[in-house]
Amino acid sequence: MRGVPIVIIWLDCVPGDVFVNMYSKGELKNIEEFFENGVMIDNVITCFPTVTEAAEGGIISGLFAGETNMVGERYFSRKLGMVMHYKLNASPEMDLSPKAKERIIDTIVGDSISMGRLIRTSHEVVYDLLAKSYEKVGSLKMISRIIETISKIVYSRRPRLLFFTISSDTISHMYGRNSNEVQAFIKEVDRNFPKLINSLDDVFGKGQYLVFLFSDHGIADVRNHLDLPILLLDYGFKPASTDVIISEESNAAALSNGRRMGLLYFAHPERGWRAKPSYKMLRNYRLKGRNVDLPKLLSEEEGIEHVFIKRDERTVMVISEQGEALIEYDAITNRYRYRVIRGDDPMEYDLVPSWMSEEELLRRTITSPYPDGVVQVFNLFRAENCGDLVVNAAPNWDFWEEWDMTYRTLRAAHGGLSKDEMKVFLLVKGPYIKGSKTRYARLLDIFATIATYYNAARLVRDTHAIDRMKYLESTS
């Protein structure tokens, strides 16, 4: 039965705990009825940074954001001296790392059709301008429109891989993570769900396809804003324009993704953008006639909770106002160690400083305020487009900038490492997928299940994805 059609239903920016609470209280009868004999995992960790590009890169390849090079919607190009934006002057397909391109699910499954994806690696991309117009203003009409469009595609095209997005991004940002409006969005998805399932049953046969339903990331409520480019200007830097304009005189760049994670880039004091400053240089940076410890200076800002910086090939530092910690990696054993070296634990893990596998670290940190931070923060610095420093916003803060799109209100944001942003959910149903006692997972584990279904398990071995569905015993 392997090789069955696969349907990926992506609910953008739906807070995991809000969905799970409604599901467990019986408020989503249609979704609950369909997944009754499937798998529900209510403790799923997405990719950091908690933005769609990072999550999508992980799902299609089984790799973290640092390995796919999908660090967000924007990054700074040292070569060009300007901010690159995937909606304007950059291409996620071009920036996607070769390692990720070697294993994408569209190639594994074949004959894929997508709608709403940001990394356009599918064989065919469908656009629905009316649905997009509804999404921009936060109208629930988008849900019935998208499901109507997708149902037509199922009947007319019979794709092997159908991957589509229904987005609550605008609604979540405008009204807050647990607002009546977000709950209304989830209920409307449930109300329209049977129409989608009926079309899938008609075309593929009842129970003859594999379905994933999940949220790509959560969102955190915010009240205060810190403009990172203006902050650098106040320090004495000449930050690059956040418009997509070349900034010839700049010596720094700062931009946010999702508004709660920031990437900061600095020119070499002597060689400019042609060279990256070293760790020692960033901690003793010559600025306006004095030496400045940039990570420490930033960590003392009220709106910044953590500053992450790569010290060397095997070490990343976590710096906060309260203390500093080391994330160490041993490539030979593929293990990590987290240890506090000054003050209080900046990540609040209370871990004994011993070498652990990434699976053990996931299990040990999943209930913490910053789940899976050790492994994901370390790997983030593998990305070519990653900043010299990465900053994580403090509770109730974001890194909104004046140019940014305006909402009537902005009450929530994402991108950061907090539990509200990192924890999502996953529902799975399909042939040989039986009830599972899986207590937790990573969102990118979806890749492992798809690859295994299509006899491509070899592609999973050097990823971080695990097939936690454990259906193979029934097919041997």
Domain ranges, ordered by start, for the chain = 6-62+103-219+419-474, 222-408
Q: What is the pLDDT of residues 428-447, one digit of tens each?
A: 999 988 766 678 999 999 99
Average pLDDT, the chain: 94
Superfamily (CATH H level) for 6-62+103-219+419-474: Alkaline Phosphatase, subunit A (3.40.720.10)
3-state helix/strand/coil string of the chain: CCCCCEEEEEEECCCHHHHHHHHHCCCCHHHHHHCCCCEEEEEEECCCCCCHHHHHHHHHHCCCHHHHCCCCCEEEECCCCEEEECCCCCCHHHHCCHHHHCCCHHHHHCCEEEECCCCCCCCEECCCHHHHHHHHCCCCHHHHHHHHHHHHHHHHHCCCEEEEEEECHHHHHHHCCCCHHHHHHHHHHHHHHHHHHHHHHHHHCCCCCEEEEEECCCCEEEEEECCHHHHHHHHCCCECCCCCCCCCCCCEEEEEECECEEEEEECECCCECCCCCCHHHHCCEEECCEEECHHHHHHCCCCEEEEEEEEECCEEEEECCCEEEEEEEECCCCEEEEEEEEECCCCCCCCCCCCECHHHHHHHHCCCCCCCHHHHHHHHCCCCCCCCEEEEECCEEECCCCCCCCCCCCCEEECCCCHHHHEEEEEEECCCCCCCCCCCEECCHHHHHHHHHCCCHHHHCCCCCCCCCCCHHHCC
Q: What is the pLDDT of residues 237-272, one digit of tens each?
A: 999 988 877 777 899 999 999 999 999 999 998 999
Please report the pLDDT score of residue 435 as a whole number. 60
What are the residue ranges in the chain where pLDDT is below 70? 1-2, 405-408, 435-437, 470-476
- pTM over 0.75, yes/no: yes
